[in-house]
Amino acid sequence: MTTNAHDARPLLLGTRRSKLAVAQATWAADRVTAATGRAVRLVPLSTEGDESDAPIERFGSTGVFVTALRKALLAGEVDFVVHSCKDLPTAPEAALRLAAVPAREDPRDALAGPAGLPGSLDALPPGAAVGTGSPRRAAQILARAPHVAVVPLRGNVDSRLARTATGELDAVVLAMAGLSRLGRLGEVAAPLRPDIVLPAPGQGALAIECRADDPATASVLATADDPPTRLAVTAERAFLAGLDAGCTSPVGALATPANARGLRLDGLVAAPDGSTVLRSAATATVETRAEATALGERLARALLADGGAALLTTPAGTAAADPRTRPDRPARASQPLGRG
Ligand SMILES: NCc1[nH]cc(CCC(=O)O)c1CC(=O)O
């Protein structure tokens, strides 16, 4: 007996309750239904992080959200879950399957805030207060625009934008993808060029996971996969894994198409105070995930050899042994923060 997709029971998609999580889950559900006709029902899950008023960073980065969704998935409460790729730990989980990485949104970061905000970091007035909770963003902002003040910032996208509306902050730096999914692109002064602020590995892409022992669901979800995005994200995450950096280290990576079947991977490791920013790039023909992984690992080895290893093992703000550091610059964002 055959089962028509329209007759099958709806797939259950577990989601956190935050606006961004629901927007991402709804988008992913629509992709799956459009491609297969299979209905998808959202199941809002309560996670420790969502129920607490404490800042996300107190739970040890964003892993707590991923973990809570995975728990519900492994318990059979839902059939699949959706994460932001950049929040996903690099350690493989044998019981889980990364069933799809859908087409990516704009991977760039953005300078956002009230109308009239200048369209670049350079054009911000001296002493301008720029909010970010991400050591990767803080380091690159300080390296490019030492005349601004980076202010630590926590909370969701809406509450971060609200702090520029009150005038408490002049600007915030957030992911274009999140702003787009929340309909807040109107508050973007300008996207930040990746040669100025390199995004987080996986930024702008979603990760759709199901149980490894559920091939039927996996084959439905596979229709949402975008192979070029999957290859790019695979290279970026292999770079991150190859650095063996903690999730609060300032690390950036972005893979972009180069030639017909090639991928260019840009990678970055920085000192939290922006005094050192190490960048490198590598290009390769990439048609398989193994080739994407090899590209990421190769770039990680190159950056580790080129001073990255010292940078990643040196406590924040004390990388003075490296000739490229500028120890005369004060650390203005040295507290541990989540990967943003
Ligand atoms: N750090 C939290 C987080 N996780 C994913 C996004 C945005 C969506 C994405 O990057 O895919 C955000 C907000 C932000 O960084 O501005």
163-191 pLDDT, tens digit per residue, is 999 999 999 999 999 999 999 999 999 99
Q: Please tell me the class of the 233-313 domain.
A: alpha beta
11-103+205-225, CATH topology level: D-Maltodextrin-Binding Protein; domain 2 (3.40.190)
**Could you tell me which of 120, 119, 141 has the C-alpha nearest to residue 130?**
141
The listed CATH number (3.40.50.300, 1.20.1440.60, 3.90.180.10, 3.40.190.10) that belongs to domain 109-191: 3.40.190.10
Cα of 54 vs centre of ligand 1, distance in Å, is 18
> Which residues lie with the beta carbon below 6 Å from any ligand 1 atom?
84, 86-87, 157, 174-175, 177-178, 203-204, 340
Cα of 84 vs centre of ligand 1, distance in Å, is 7
Distance from C-alpha of 291 to C-alpha of 109, rounded to nearest angstrom: 27
Ligand 1 atom closest to residue 339's alpha carbon, by position in its atom list: 1
Nearest residue CA, atom 7 of ligand 1?
178
ipTM score assigned to the predicted complex: 0.96
Asked if 23 contacts 54 with a C-beta cutoff of 8 angstroms, the reply is: no
Distance from C-alpha of 192 to C-alpha of 198, rounded to nearest angstrom: 8
Place of tokens 């309560």: 46
Domain limits, the chain: 11-103+205-225, 109-191, 233-313
Backbone torsions φ then ψ of 166, nearest 5 degrees: -80, -10
**Could you tell me which of 263, 137, 255 has the C-alpha nearest to residue 192?**
137
Give residue 317's pLDDT.
45
Check for a shared fold between 109-191 and 233-313: no
Active site amino acids: 87
Cα of 106 vs centre of ligand 1, distance in Å, is 11
Total count of residues recorded for the chain:
340
Asked if 184 contacts 176 with a C-beta cutoff of 8 angstroms, the reply is: no
Ligand 1 atom closest to residue 134's alpha carbon, by position in its atom list: 1
Nearest residue CA, atom 8 of ligand 1?
178
User: Tens digits of per-residue pLDDT, 31-51?
Assistant: 999 999 999 999 999 876 555
pLDDT along the chain (340 residues), means of 10: 68 96 97 96 80 45 81 97 95 95 98 96 98 96 98 93 94 98 97 98 98 98 97 98 82 95 96 96 97 98 95 61 37 40
| Pocket perturbation via mutation, ligand 1, pick of 15, 69, 84 by most ligand atoms within 8 A of CB | 84
Cα of 109 vs centre of ligand 1, distance in Å, is 9
Ligand 1 atom closest to residue 87's alpha carbon, by position in its atom list: 4
